[in-house]
Amino acid sequence: MTTSHTSDDNSVNGTSGGASPAAATDEAVRAELSRLRDSIDNIDAAVVHMLAERFKCTQQVGHLKAQHQLPPADPTRESRQIARLRELAESAKLDPAFAEKLLNFIIAEVIRHHEQIAEQPLTSDGTRPA
Amino acid sequence: MTTSHTSDDNSVNGTSGGASPAAATDEAVRAELSRLRDSIDNIDAAVVHMLAERFKCTQQVGHLKAQHQLPPADPTRESRQIARLRELAESAKLDPAFAEKLLNFIIAEVIRHHEQIAEQPLTSDGTRPA
């Protein structure tokens, strides 16, 4: 008998034969964990698709900025975005500090993309390859 | 005349009076930038609300794990999640490496929450305060 406890060790911990109360509890815990993880997986798929759409927008912003020699980063816009997201997070009961860290994480990736776009050579019509 | 170019310097660069072609272009660029930023803001609000929902699920997972002495981190589950998200990202034309970094960023926050839950004292009925 070991003191370690994993999600599939109820047969080891069961003290009586057949469907012991411990085994029934473990089964219920497993079912509940599985239900929650299915929801997490659905949410993650939604977030990935939302972010794919977000990067489509920011790629367009990047091309627009590069064509018109606007700087890749925009601190005024960013501080407005952060303030707004912190408010939204608070009303959704999400840690505002986490929402801010997440937005900074995404913005860092966006700026990296914008810099890559700005470094691409112009084509003969003065635009950059899409 | 300066060679620097910002989103509101069309009056400086316009070579003819009235609505010069340069001014019209700048106006169109500003409108397009504004349209894209509105979409980005809508997407960010959606993501914040999805993540608020995700943390509600992971908080429940955390309490379940703490009650049943399951470890806060689950490397097998995490590697399955990462593989699935990379595939989803690829089909959505999002950089799979970015999707993986993002999931790791979120999971790190979740594990921090789980550890906090596990450190809370048990109440008299053997559960932890919600």
pLDDT tens column, B88-103: 999 999 999 999 999 9
Q: For chain A, give me the number of helices (H) and strands (E)? A: 4, 0
Q: Which of B40, B48, B70 sits opposite A57 (nearest CB)?
A: B40
Q: Check: CB of residue B69 under 8 Å from CB of residue A29.
A: no
Mutate to test the interface with A, among B30, B32, B47 (most CBs of A within 10 A): B47
Asked whether residue A107 is assigned to any structural domain, the reply reads yes
Highest mean pLDDT among A70-74, B13-17, B97-101 belongs to: B97-101
Under DSSP, the state recorded for A129 is P
Q: Which of B38, B62, B102 is nearest to A43 (CA)?
A: B102
Number of domains in chain A: 1
Render pLDDT for B36-71 as a digit per residue (tens, 0 to 9).
999 999 999 999 999 999 999 999 999 998 899 888
For residue B97, give its domain range: 18-119
Residue B51 contacts A where some CB pair is shorter than 8 Å: yes
pTM score, two decimals? Answer: 0.76
- The answer to the question of residue A1 being in a domain is no
Query: What average pLDDT score do residues A83-100 get?
Result: 96
Residue A32 token pair: 């509940």
Does the ipTM surpass 0.95?
no
Interchain CB contact of A45 with B (< 8 Å): yes
Q: pLDDT at position A14, please?
A: 37
Query: CATH number of the domain that A107 lies in?
Result: 1.20.59.10
Would you say the C-alpha torsion A61, A63, A64, A65 has a positive or negative sign? positive
The overall longest dimension of chain B from CA atoms, in Å, is 81
What residues of B are in contact with residue A58 (Cβ under 8 Å)?
36, 40
The answer, yes or no, to whether residue B5 has pLDDT greater than 50, is: no
Q: Which residue, among A24, A71, A118, A46, has the nearest Cα to B57 in the 3D structure? A: A46
Task: Give chain B's length.
Answer: 130
Q: What is the mean pLDDT of residues A80-91?
A: 96
Distance of residue A9 Cα from the nearest chain B Cα, in angstroms: 11
Q: Is residue B2 part of a domain?
A: no
Residue B80 belongs to a domain: yes
